[in-house]
Amino acid sequence: MEIKQAAKDFFVNQDIRSQAIADLAEIIEIPSVASAAEGIYPYGKECAKAIDKAAELAQKYGFATENHDYHCMSVLFGEGEEEIGIVCHLDVVPAGDGWSVDPYKLTVLDNILMGRGTHDDKGPFIQALYTLRFFKENNIKLPFRVRLILGSDEEVGSSDLDYFVKVRKPPMFSFTPDSEFPVCIGEKGILAAEVQFGDLPENILELQGGTVTNAVAGKAYAVVKTEKALLPAENIFVFDCDKGVKIEAVGKACHAAMPENGKSAISMLLGYLIDNGILPQESYFGFLRTATEEYLGNSLGIAASNADFGYLTCVGGVIEVRNGKVVMHFNIRYLPDDDYRVIMANIQKSVEPFGGKAVVAEQSNGYFVSADDNKIKALTDACESVLGIECKPYTMGGGTYARWLPNTVAFGSAIEAERNYLGSERGNAHQRDEYISVKELFAGMEIYSQALANLAELF
């Protein structure tokens, strides 16, 4: 196909490649971690600087831009009644410790480009911008307008896209390069539920497990008053302290979307306290022990599965004491066709016998598009044609930017075979030494160009 060859020729050009890397370096230099509003900047000055820089880069190549009051911005290309959207974000997570290079200066090595945001999601912004350059500079017309939407609040709450929907009509179809190739055709719904139980028993002075509600708890502890001599056990540590005896459980933390990789320290701790006669099994503690040990929602009466998504998952990520009452936080990843209100009702029914009261803390809908949809096929085909490998659309439990805008799927730009240059603990999104590989950067541009060309054939 002629587009394929033209895109290949364009992105192999040394000038284009050096310009792309230089542009990426300029945007990486801005530590655009979203922060509190400052004047007209809803996510702080650094996020606003990133928006201004992106506008400057886009205008340099002759594109029109729109600033949506620093919540997000648009880069526009072409004409047409309908729009196709590409959605990226310019905010990043904090750099964190342990980098081997300066996180806010692009480090260019032979095969990888390192810096905070290279992979998530400033590199993908450059990929999208250069995809538009390809069409513009080769005078290739598309039957729709392309709107590249650049947000500033993906990592915190995605309220940037809520704002976009208020001020502009969402494109008829969009993809977000904020995940992995090929195409993510479905994400589970996410429900954070808080269940409040009764008073903390008198013999328990402190109780706390987990640090974030969307992960399996890696650590949990209790301080108890007891006359009994308590012995340590596997991954259970016992110390005397001022107030009494402190018991610490060490499990294995992992993300709530993939709970099969973890082991709940909360369940281990409650199990130990029950088995040693400190807490009664016939109480909400016995219930919570089981509910945090398993992760399929059986205890809460909400288990479900289907062929596209596999199982609903349910992680009791945090246990804490609030105003003297024990509160358990559950993070549930449910099948997008199910109604979260029905799930909540079932949870309430399950916790009621133990005096529990369940409330919604947070909820966001998932989505599902059939792999047979012709737009999905257009994206998948682009991926196969450029990478030369068979690509199968996937679903997942993790949430991406796609869920915040109607008719949007996640599409790239990570290429699995390119993600392991620094091992599994370094180099990926949110990790130290984050990178995008040179191959990912330019192959992604070819894929996005081909994808738009394929979509054009549907018009």
Which residue ranges make up the site for Zn ion (CB under 5 A)? 120-121, 178
Minimum CB separation from Zn ion for residue 441, in Å?
Answer: 16
Minimum CB separation from Zn ion for residue 184, in Å?
Answer: 13
Nearer to Zn ion, 295 or 448 (CB): 448
User: Taking Cα atoms as reference points, which of 216, 29, 207 lies closest to residue 105?
Assistant: 29
Nearer to Zn ion, 125 or 163 (CB): 125
Nearer to Zn ion, 295 or 401 (CB): 401
Minimum CB separation from Zn ion for residue 231, in Å?
Answer: 46
Minimum CB separation from Zn ion for residue 430, in Å?
Answer: 9
Region of 387 (left: φ > 0; alpha: ψ -120 to 50; beta: rest) is: alpha
Minimum CB separation from Zn ion for residue 424, in Å?
Answer: 18
Which residue blocks in 205-248 are alpha helix, DSSP H?
none
Q: Where are any strands of DSSP class E within 20-168?
A: 64-68, 72-77, 83-89, 107-108, 112-114, 145-151
Nearer to Zn ion, 120 or 187 (CB): 120
Which SS3 state, helix, strand or coil, does residue 441 take?
helix
Distances (CA, A) of 162 to 52, 157, 165, 289: 20, 10, 5, 38
Nearer to Zn ion, 120 or 434 (CB): 120
Q: Which residue has the tokens 């709970």?
A: 259
Q: Which residues contact 52 (CB under 8 A, 6 or more apart)?
A: none
Minimum CB separation from Zn ion for residue 121, in Å?
Answer: 4
Nearer to Zn ion, 278 or 402 (CB): 402
Tokens of 148: 């590249």
Distance separating alpha carbons of residues 204 and 223, to the nearest angstrom: 6
Distance separating alpha carbons of residues 274 and 286, to the nearest angstrom: 7
Distances (CA, A) of 174 to 241, 315, 409, 457: 57, 31, 7, 16
Minimum CB separation from Zn ion for residue 351, in Å?
Answer: 34
Q: Which letter does DSSP use for residue 152 in this model?
A: S
Nearer to Zn ion, 151 or 271 (CB): 151
